Amino acid sequence: MRLYPVLFTLPVIAALATGALDSAGPAQAQGPEAQRRVALPNPPDRAPAPAPAWHNTSWLNTDHPLALPELKGRVVLLNFWVFTCWNCTNTVPSLVDFDHKYRDHGLTVIGIHTPEFPPYAGEHDRGNVERALRRYGIEYPNAQDNDSKTWDLYRIRYWPSFVLIDKRGNVRYEGYGEFHLNDGSYRTWDQRIRELLAE
């Protein structure tokens, strides 16, 4: 019997060669301290910049595709997720809570459902996404990002990720990683939302 172990070291080389690991976005983990911080939301590392316009055409929980111009004057929390991601679905209760608490105060939570795998895995299927929304009690709008264009537009690299956009349409905070109701990360995002709502 033969065993062929494959240590996948080339991806790191490939990523470094293409500069993929050095692109703007969440701070990279370096050392034990950084590893403890890796799942926490990150502070903004650049001046506020206009949020890129997404062009998703398949939406759920809304009667029309949402666009940035119509959201001016509202704070927008984008959640990049996929229903096959345990870390993502574990975070949903917090997002549902934000939606319930702040929708009437000017917050719009938007799920950007971005599949990890090709269509054979079922993540692209609208019916599967609809069932996931019902299962997790998600009432806020969701866009199907089956071609990952919005994911790429926002330079997202992790499931789940979050982008908080202010009333003027500028990206103010970005972060990633599972969090739970009333834990430290939840409180940080809650504070950021309230800060932007008060502006």
Beta bridge partners of 77: 109, 164
Rounded to the nearest whole angstrom, what is the least distance from the CB of residue 16 to other proteins in the complex?
9
Rounded to the nearest whole angstrom, what is the least distance from the CB of residue 127 to other proteins in the complex?
17
Residue placing its CB nearer to other proteins in the complex, 73 or 118: 118
Reading phi first (left if > 0) and then psi (alpha if -120 to 50, else beta), residue 29 is in beta
Residues interacting with other proteins, by CB under 8 A?
Answer: 1-12, 14-15, 20-21, 28-30, 35-36, 38-39, 82, 84-88, 116-118, 120-121, 123, 157-161, 176-179
Residue placing its CB nearer to other proteins in the complex, 86 or 126: 86
Residues 159, 80 contacting (CB under 8 angstroms):
yes
User: CB under 8 Å to 160, separation ≥6 — which residues?
Assistant: 79, 80, 81, 85, 87, 88, 91, 176, 177, 178
Rounded to the nearest whole angstrom, what is the least distance from the CB of residue 193 to other proteins in the complex?
20
Residues 61, 140 contacting (CB under 8 angstroms):
yes
Residue placing its CB nearer to other proteins in the complex, 45 or 86: 86
Tokens representing residue 49 in the block: 């910049």
Rounded to the nearest whole angstrom, what is the least distance from the CB of residue 38 to other proteins in the complex?
5
Residue placing its CB nearer to other proteins in the complex, 5 or 127: 5
Q: Work out whether strand 107-113 and strand 75-81 pair parallel, antiparallel, or are unpaired.
A: parallel
